[in-house]
Chain A
Amino acid sequence: MTSRPVAPAHGAVGAAGGVHGEQAAGGQGFSATLQRVRDGARFCGLFARVPRPSDTAQLLALVSDGGELFVEEIEVPAVDGRYTSLTPAVPAAGWYERRIRDLFGIEPVGHPRLDPLVFPVPPEGRPPLGAEGDPTVEMAPDPAPLPSHVQGEGVFTIPYGPVRSGVFEAVEYLVETSGEDIPHLRARIFYKHRGVEAHFCGLGVDDGALLAERVEGVASVAHASAFCAAVEQLGGVAVPFQSQLVRVVHAELERVANHLDSIVRHTEAAGQAVAYALFSHHKERVQRLRTRLCGSRFGRGVVVPGGVSGPLGLPPAEVLGTVGGLRRAVGRDVRLLMDTPSFVDRLRGTGVVSHDDARAFAVVGPVGRASGQDEDVRRSRPYGGYARLGHRVAERREGGDALVRQQVRIYEIAEAFHLMRQALDMLDELGEPTSWRAEVPKVSGRAIGWAEAPQGELLSLVEAEDGRLTHVTVRSASFHNLAAYPSAFPKDIFTDVAFIEASFGLSIAGASC
């Protein structure tokens, strides 16, 4: 069971692993959410929507606690709506509130620093997703940086980006510095804002899955899985078990490719030429295996509402052999890499995200797991095939620096091979199902789907009416984690930036969508 429709009624309903809905009494703040976060729950996100035609906007705050997802909903006027900001008590909400202000024009009262996020300047006119429809937002970038965070003699701001040296996604880092150390760094992501959320409206669910893949291209399988999980929940669709296993194989290969990409970028930054060549070759082998399994190097078109588009392109036993060879080759080179002092020394103590910061920003994924935030939704809210696979308990890791993040990824690569092996064994045993894809009826309602993307927990809020999407918000782990990114820099210097960036492994496309 991957997701449940959010109950519109008051009070918490549902069983373990489900989603609980509740509506705030006062309507102007998230009292239940605040209480839950104070009691130790993890803040997962803040979503907004304005149903058209309507003059009220709905805000949904999500928290995760003990394997359950709680949703609190408040309503504010769609035009000039205001509510009490969560950010002073829940720093993790900071970026969500900035995004919602830019896109919907709803104001969080008491936000400590409401800089524009998806637009270069504070938006004027009609916000693109607000009540009045067609946007009049001027997107001309403003090269002038906003006021700096750090004040003092000799402190200046270096803009780095959006066109950077090397092949990178477009993002601008404003480095506030007095010369060598980095007391503060700001990421400006508006350059890549593509307005994806608006494009979902009116699509059918099959097209919706294709668009979901393009929110964050390097995590296409995870995005399609989370989106389809929500759709399948709305339609009460039982996905064939073999299809769930095929999704697991593709999702884990995607994880291996992403983690190898992170290692490649580390070796490149450290100038380890041989290691760079070896690991980029390993990553290429993974991408080629994915091509042989589905015709796409990114698993595009595999995950569809109701199941998968077809079987693996190779017999499970043959995949198992190839995967086994990959596992041995990667393992061998990883051991040597982590025994190379000139590499490990660059990572140790670099880009530390303290436990307090990780908790305050509710950091997810490998970055969170390196700083004591253990949650992995494959285990805590198991979805699809993961519910039937054996997961090894991860060793608890704490240091929070780039080295520990790397160790977490190395562990996850091994674990991904372990999960793939189980899924492939089962596929081999079970043979083909009667159909790889269950029928999906014309769905209506609202549901939340999730997946553990390589970058961390991924949420997809889907609303549909008679088979057409009326609203979709995709919350990638990259967006969620990017808010914690600046907290990794204060003890470091310029030459560490490349390592910190590689060790966060975030996709700007997913963050700025």
Chain B
Amino acid sequence: MPWVPRGLREGVVTTPYPRRPDGYGPGFFGHVDVRHQEAVHPEAVHPGGDDPRALADAAAACPTGAIALEGQGDRVALDRGRCILCGRCVVRAPATFRADPGFETAAFGRRALVVPAGPATEEDDAAVAEARASLARRVRGLRRSVHVRHVDAGSDGSEEWEVAALTNPVYDVQRLGIFFTASPKHADLLLVTGAGSAGMEGPLRQTYELMPGPKVVVAVGADAASGGMLADGYATRGGVGRIVPVDVFVPGSPPSPFGILHGILAAVGILGSRRHDGAEDQAARTRR
């Protein structure tokens, strides 16, 4: 059996994540951050801050219209659900936009992808709290074993590679109790990729309906969150959130396998969705 020694030769290649941070994380363009605008812009223009013209330029250059100008054009809001990480804004307005490394980018709900968070009303806060409480109730029984059904609703094909990579020995999600399942009837978690093509609307909805409760939906990628560059066409629905109710969004075009793993772990309550210190994370405590 020549395969046995061959298999042993590589040693252990599995990532320590989420127990410990993975060295690969910092090399990855995770998301674009909007830097403390309040401090940078007490007035319209601040030395060291970006000129409103630079902000307007960055907003105009964005291929998916993810940047909205606010106030007198001296403030911005970035929708990470639309962002495809082209990095143009980072070049045009470097004091405001920063390319942040890392992969822990999943967020609860579509609104949480917009940064900086706008002034929230009490109803908003209540709605978010209710949504999170609902998700927490649903996943209470799932923590140690999650069965995942993947559905492609019009992706460009790269997201499937990244989802499939979760079963390779580097990510090896079985070690975390995460399994891919063939039948939606055995699934707890629905992983959806793609912009929401019209043709997949029916099959996606059907898959969701066939899943037994409690069920959780994770949208993978900017296309799934907003349609990305393919929003508002005759054949796409501008994100899968318009077809099934999504609990957790993983931005990125495509997100890395780590990002998708973070989204799954966040959805089932093993990790918080905020960026966290890997050494301190909850997963270490919840592991068997």
**A residues engaging B (CB < 8 A)?**
120, 128, 134-135, 137, 139-141, 143, 162-163, 165-170, 190-196, 198-199, 206-207, 210-211, 213-218, 220, 261, 272, 274-275, 277-278, 280-281, 283-284, 287-288, 291-292, 295-298, 300-301, 333, 336, 340, 507-510
Kindly state the separation between the CA atoms of A170 and B170 in the bound complex, as whole angstroms. 26
In chain B, positions 107-145 with a C-beta closer than 8 Å to chain A are none
Kindly state the separation between the CA atoms of A193 and B195 in the bound complex, as whole angstroms. 10
Contact of B199 among A190, A199, A278, A296 (CB under 8 A): A190
Supposing A141-B199, A170-B152, A214-B228 touch, asked if A192 and B194 sit within 8 A by C-beta, the answer is yes
* Contact of A196 with B169 in the complex, beta carbons under 8 Å: no
Task: Tell me the smallest distance from the CB of A433 to a CB of chain B, in Å.
Answer: 19
* 26 A-B residue pairings within 8 Å (CB atoms): A134-B234, A143-B202, A163-B151, A168-B160, A169-B152, A169-B160, A170-B154, A170-B194, A192-B154, A192-B199, A194-B154, A194-B235, A195-B236, A207-B63, A215-B156, A216-B157, A218-B157, A218-B161, A261-B161, A274-B3, A278-B10, A280-B167, A280-B168, A288-B27, A291-B24, A300-B85
**Would you call B200 an interface residue if the criterion is a C-beta within 8 Å of the partner chain's C-beta atoms?**
yes
* Contact of A300 with B253 in the complex, beta carbons under 8 Å: yes
- Chain A residues, CB < 8 A from B7: 274, 277-278
Kindly state the separation between the CA atoms of A478 and B7 in the bound complex, as whole angstroms. 33
How many cross-chain pairs have Cβ atoms below 8 Å apart between A and B? 181
Kindly state the separation between the CA atoms of A165 and B184 in the bound complex, as whole angstroms. 9
Kindly state the separation between the CA atoms of A479 and B217 in the bound complex, as whole angstroms. 31
**Would you call B29 an interface residue if the criterion is a C-beta within 8 Å of the partner chain's C-beta atoms?**
yes
- Chain A residues, CB < 8 A from B170: 280-281, 284
* Contact of B234 with A192 in the complex, beta carbons under 8 Å: no
In chain B, positions 158-190 with a C-beta closer than 8 Å to chain A are 158-165, 167-170, 180, 182-184
Contact of A167 among B6, B84, B160, B201 (CB under 8 A): B160
- Chain A residues, CB < 8 A from B39: none
Task: Tell me the smallest distance from the CB of B27 to a CB of chain A, in Å.
Answer: 6
Kindly state the separation between the CA atoms of A284 and B166 in the bound complex, as whole angstroms. 10
Supposing A137-B234, A274-B7 touch, asked if A291 and B27 sit within 8 A by C-beta, the answer is yes
In the complex, the 7 A-B pairs of residues with the closest C-beta atoms, listed nearest first: A217-B158, A165-B182, A217-B156, A139-B198, A280-B168, A195-B235, A509-B157
* Contact of A280 with B194 in the complex, beta carbons under 8 Å: no
- Chain B residues, CB < 8 A from A281: 10, 13, 168-170
- Chain B residues, CB < 8 A from A220: 158
Which interface residue of A120, A137, A192, A507 has the most chain B CB atoms within 10 A? Answer: A192
Supposing A292-B27, A509-B156 touch, asked if A139 and B162 sit within 8 A by C-beta, the answer is no
* Contact of A195 with B200 in the complex, beta carbons under 8 Å: no
- Chain B residues, CB < 8 A from A166: 180, 182
Kindly state the separation between the CA atoms of A192 and B230 in the bound complex, as whole angstroms. 12
Kindly state the separation between the CA atoms of A162 and B203 in the bound complex, as whole angstroms. 7
- Chain A residues, CB < 8 A from B167: 280
- Chain B residues, CB < 8 A from A274: 3-4, 6-7
Task: Tell me the smallest distance from the CB of B106 to a CB of chain A, in Å.
Answer: 17
Supposing A168-B152, A218-B161, A261-B161 touch, asked if A280 and B169 sit within 8 A by C-beta, the answer is yes
